[in-house]
Amino acid sequence: MNKTKVALVTGAGQGIGKAIAIRLSKDGFAVAVVDFNGETARSTAAQINEAGGQAIALVADVSDRDQVFAAVEETTKTWGDFNVIINNAGIAPTTLIENITPEIVDKVFNINFKGVIWGIQAAVKAFKTLGHGGKIINASSQAGHVGNPELAVYSASKFAVRGLTQTAARDLAGLGITVNAYCPGIVKTPMWDEIDRQVSAAAGQPVGYGTKEFAKNITLGRLSEPEDVAACVAYLAGPDSDYMTGQALLIDGGMVFN
């Protein structure tokens, strides 16, 4: 009998993170649903538990190192094991080059970049304590492969995650830990709605304009559903990707070709 594997997903209260948590539960993982919004975290966990899965909801702000470590420790204590962390939480404010402030740079990097570092560190600590390897999966973006207009700080943070993923893969391979990233394109989530609102407003256009402009670049001609991204993450979290590390998989409908 295989022991249930344990995964933790940050930013799992809504959007891509929620879809990842639900998909991993379907794949047989016990899932810690982590979000800074306790209400949405509890809602996702309840949905998983009602469907017959195993989930707990934990509140953590990923920019706070201690909170990330506490969430991983709580997860390990709950199920007696820890196998996969998905550092998914992120924010994407529109940042026109002339208007970038120190505050917005700090906020985006504290969550999108430092949050991933703390997740990696907390996972490594847990894997070492448990005496086995594991999988670390980070959220980058197609904007981490190609700079996106009006998203300078977000794009920079996602490029940084891609670099961090490569270095961590090299540094942690000896511990039996793989480190990969996934790079979504335009996904129908509350976060994208907000980007569309800001980009459309900046262009003096009605809501939906930004989405239409960005969508022109999608080869498959449709926006992504969160489940499309979750399927890619499920592959990275499962045994089929055991021989892959240091990669940043584009799951963007063909916006960026490498």
Q: Which residues participate in catalysis according to the annotation?
A: 154
For 149-193, give the DSSP string: TTBHHHHHHHHHHHHHHHHHHHHHGGGTEEEEEEEE-SB-SHHHH
- Contact between 46 and 113 (Cβ < 8 Å): no
- Farthest-apart Cα atoms in the chain, separation: 59
- Contact between 185 and 168 (Cβ < 8 Å): no
Distance CA(17)–CA(62), nearest Å, equals: 13
Helix axes 115-130, 65-79, angle to 10 degrees: 30
